[in-house]
Structure 1
Amino acid sequence: MLAIAGGKGGSGKTTTALGVAGALAQRRRRPLVVDCDLDAPNLHLRAGVDRDPGVDAPDPEAAGRKAAALPGVDVLPAGDADGDDLAAALAALPADRPVLLDCPAGASEAAARPLRVADATVLVTTLGHESVEDAVKTAAMARAVGTAPCVAAVSREPSVTDGLRAALGVSECVAVPDVPAPLTADAATAAYARLADAAGADSFAGGEAQT
């Protein structure tokens, strides 16, 4: 599993989760994106699906639905889940396909829960001072629970400097340009493909070829 984590709303976590999933779908994988932000869920809105059923469904994987704008990507919305529902769903998710966790912001137990079960973390930030500070805190929390960040996505920027990479303690920072259609524009999809490569997302599950 790959955790997509960062600071407060607006940093681009949900779009990044869907974008990286879209890159994996282009490689004929079967990605599933899970909304772990139970207090402020918006994955269903970005993916163009209903909020229910979701994480609280008896069979969470079966409750996944095809994202309207991203062929080959399934999403599992938050539904009306609580923390116990999410913990159970995360434990039951399949190991034979890539799973991306759209994480909540902050440093609470709710924010740490999906990080604990992930294989690696992708940090998401803008270049705003507060957003970067939040990303640094998220990076520290991810390391504390054993899911070190491997790469960072910098939303709505044409380029980034090495200073940010050093501040976040990641091997690479990938700039995701500000474009009108961030999930389908060529410049953005190229950035998400680069993020998938840097995060080693292809290695997290065997997956099955799509037909």
Structure 2
Amino acid sequence: MLAIAGGKGGCGKTTIALGVGQALGTSTRPSLVVDTDRDMPNLHRRAGVNPTPGIADVAASAEPTAVAQRATTVQNVDVLPCQTASGAAIDNAINRLSRRDRPVVLDCPAGAGPDAARPLRGADRTVLVSAPTRQSLTDTAKTAAMARALDAPPALTVLVGSDGSVDPSALLCCPETIHVPSVSKPLESDRSRVKYVEIAAVLTKRNT
């Protein structure tokens, strides 16, 4: 499982989660993008699906994949919203998704608090998402440290709205950085899609 995490809200984590999910999924093996942010659950809006059913509806008798909805704003992605879900419900869903045979992407809460730690405990590795500013990168460094402590080490950094002039490697101690340009509709832009495919290629390479 892949966690999409960062130190600041609004830096583009949800968009990156959907873009990478599309790049990792196929028509016969769609990826599953899961919203784990109870305070600001917005994955369903970006994905163009209803807020329910979602994680709160994953009971002992229901498979998470059976509850998921097919995204309308991207291709080959199923979505599991977080509306009204408790922490225990999120833990239950993550534990059950760890055994899925398709890509699972966790859209994490911002920061380095207990809610952000929850999905990182279940993830295998982390993509750090940040704006190319000192404050955003400093906050993301705290998230990176937590990810390492929870055995979900950062695989790469994604700088959103970046012209490529900022190098975060010294601060985040992450092996690779991908710069995503600022565009008005990132899920529809070819410039962004190329970057999502690049991110997926790095992750796939590191997984082989």
Instruction: Establish whether TM, by shorter chain, passes 0.5.
Output: yes
State the match for 2:50 in structure 1. 50
Deviations 1:150-171 (A, max 9, x none): 101100113144x312221111
8 Å contact from structure 1 (residues 154, 173) kept in 2 = yes
Match 1:183 to one of 187, 193, 196:
187
In structure 2, stretches of 5+ residues that fail to align are none
Q: What's the CA shift for 1:180?
A: 2.0
One-letter amino acid of the counterpart of residue 38, structure 1: R
Matching residue of 2:119: 114
How far 1:65 moved relative to its partner? 0.6
Kept in 2, the 8 Å contact 1:98–1:202? The answer is: no
Q: Is the 8 A contact 2:25 2:103 kept in 1?
A: no
TM-score (norm 2): 0.92
Larger CA deviation: 167-176 vs 54-63: 54-63
**Structure 2 partner of 1:79:** 83
Displacement after TM superposition at 1:195 (Å): 1.0
Of the candidates 127, 139, 142, which is equivalent to residue 144 of structure 2?
139
Question: Could you tell me how far 1:189 is from its partner in structure 2?
Answer: 0.7
Shift >2 Å, 4+ stretches: 25-29, 199-204
Q: Structure 1 length normalisation: TM-score?
A: 0.90
AA paired with 1:149? P
- Is residue 122–residue 199 contact of structure 1 (8 Å, CA) maintained in 2? no
Say yes or no: does 1:124 pair with 2:129: yes
1:209 match: none
1:51 partner amino acid: P
Q: CA deviation at 1:200?
A: 2.8
What aligned pairs does 1:141-160 form with structure 2 within 5 A after superposition?
141-160=146-165
- Write the distance in 1 (CA, Å) between the matches of 2:180 and 2:163: 7
The whole-number CA distance in structure 2 between the counterparts of 1:8 and 1:147 is 19
**1:202 positional shift:** 8.7
> Are positions 1:193 and 2:184 aligned together?
no
Overall identity of the aligned pairs, in %: 46
* 1:36 alignment counterpart: 36
